[in-house]
Amino acid sequence: MFRLTTVPIDPTTLRNAADNPHAGAVSIFEGLVRNHHEGRRVLRLEYEAHRAVAEKEGRRILEEAT
């Protein structure tokens, strides 16, 4: 499964979507962010990606894994 999204990801929803009795494992990394960095308050993280490049790389990884 590979998906780009502009909304926050709910780990439980992601886990349920990946549930498959034929799969040997599901691995999900969830990171937590501290509320400060170098003495400054952290309010949020923002990520960006070049959609075409990210989708191409996602397909490549999925093809390699199957």
| Torsion over CA: 37, 38, 41, 46 (sign) | negative
Q: Is the pLDDT of residue 34 over 90?
A: yes
Question: Does the residue 19 lie in any domain?
Answer: yes
Average pLDDT over residues 10-32: 83
- Predicted local distance difference test score (pLDDT) of residue 56: 96
Question: Does the residue 56 lie in any domain?
Answer: yes
Domain count, the chain: 1
Structural domain including 33 reads 11-65
Tell which residue, 32, 26, 33, has the closest CA to residue 12.
26
Question: Does the residue 2 lie in any domain?
Answer: no
Question: Does the residue 6 lie in any domain?
Answer: no
Cα 51 to Cα 6, 23, 28, 48, 61: the distances in Å are: 11, 28, 21, 9, 15
The separation between CA 12 and the C-alpha centre of its own chain, rounded to angstroms, equals: 13
Q: Is the pLDDT of residue 26 over 90?
A: no
Average pLDDT over residues 31-47: 92
